[in-house]
Amino acid sequence: MTILTTHAIKRGSKISGLVLSLLLVAACSSTPAVSPEGSAQVRNKLTALQNDSNLASQIRAELREAEEAVQIAEQPLPEDEAALGEHRVYIAENKVAIAEAKATARFAEVQRALLSEEREAARLQARTQEANQARLEAERARSDADAAQQSRAQAETLAAQQAAEYQRQIDALEAEPTDRGLVLTLGDVLFATGSAEIRGGASTNLNRLVSFLQQYPERKVQIEGHTDNVGSSQINQVLSKQRAESVRNYLIQQGIASNRITAMGLSMNQPIASNDTAEGRQQNRRVEIIIDEPS
C-alpha cells in the first residue's frame, strides 16, 4: 500500500506540473488587454454628473446613453487596437459633454421659471425689486448669448481646422476623389519588372496612406492590381493579384487591421492608356487603392 501511495503522489506531481506548464504557456501567448487611456477620466466626469442631483434629474435618457458609451470605452483592448480605444473614449467624452450641456440648459430653464414666479411675487411687494430683477435677467441673457456665440465660433473653427487637415492629407496622398471614393494610383515604381515584391525605398506613398488610415480608423480600402498586355492573361492575373496582396500585407504589417483591407488582381482588363506604346504600358502597370468615403 505504501508503494501505491508513493506512485500516486509522483503521478499527481507530474499532472500538476503539466497543468502549471500549460497555464504558463497560455499566459505567455496571450496579449495583455488594458483599458484605453482616458477611460478613467471620462468615467469620473460621468460619475460627477450622475451625483449632481440638480443636473442628473434633467437628463435620465442622456445619462443612459453616456453610461453605455463609457462602458464601451472602458472595455480592455490589446495594444494594437489603441486607435479603436481612443475613438471609443472620444465618443464617450462627447456623450458625457452633451449630457452635461443639456442638463445645464434644462436646469437653467427650471431656474428661470422659478425666478419668473419670484418676480411676480416681488412685483406685488415693490416696483424696485421688479426693476432690479429685470436687470439681472437681462445681464444673464446677455451672458448666455455671449457664451452661445463663443461656443458656435469654437465649433466652426474646429470644423474648419478638421476640413483643412483632411484636405491636406488628401493632397499629400495625391488621391483623386471619384464616385468610388478616394483613388490613389501607385505606378510600377513599387515593383521590379515581373516581381510582386515591394522595392526598398519605394514605400513613401504607402507610408502616407498608413498615416491617413491610422487617423481615420473608420475608412476601408480596396487594393486593385493592374498589368499591361505583355504576357498571357493567366500570368498577368497571378502577377496583378500578388502585387495587390503585397500592398495589403505591407499595410497590415504597419498596424492597419486586416478586416479593413481587400485585395484583388484585375490583370490587363482595365487599361487606362494604350498598350501599343511603352509609355501606355507603363501607365497600365499600376496598383490602385480605393479609400471609401463614409456618407
Reported as a pLDDT band with limits 50, 70 and 90, residue 250 is very high
- The answer, yes or no, to whether residue 75 has pLDDT greater than 60, is yes
According to the model, what pLDDT value does residue 15 have?
A: 47
- Per-residue pLDDT of 155-196, as tens digits, reads 888 888 887 888 888 887 788 888 889 999 888 778 877 888
DSSP conformational letter for 260: G
Share of the chain above pLDDT 70, in %: 89
According to the model, what pLDDT value does residue 25 have?
A: 42
**Are the C-beta atoms of residues 226 and 288 closer than 8 Å to each other?**
yes
Alpha carbon distance 49, 62 (integer Å): 11
- The answer, yes or no, to whether residue 93 has pLDDT greater than 90, is yes
67 or 121, greater pLDDT: 67
State the average pLDDT for the chain. 85
Alpha carbon distance 295, 280 (integer Å): 35
- CATH code, residues 171-291: 3.30.1330.60
Alpha carbon distance 147, 46 (integer Å): 23
Helix 204-215, helix 233-253: angle, nearest 10:
60
Q: What angle do CA 228, 231, 237 make, to 5 degrees?
A: 70
Q: Identify the weakest region by mean pLDDT among 11-20, 101-110, 206-215, 251-260.
A: 11-20
Alpha carbon distance 181, 222 (integer Å): 10
According to the model, what pLDDT value does residue 24 have?
A: 44
- Per-residue pLDDT of 203-227, as tens digits, reads 787 898 999 999 999 999 999 999 9
The whole-number average pLDDT for the span 6-34 is 51
Reference 220, options 207, 209, 206; nearest CA is: 209
Reported as a pLDDT band with limits 50, 70 and 90, residue 9 is very low
Beta-bridge partner residues of 221 = 261, 291
Q: Which segments within the chain are labelled E, that is strand? A: 33-34, 77-78, 176-178, 181-186, 221-226, 261-265, 286-291
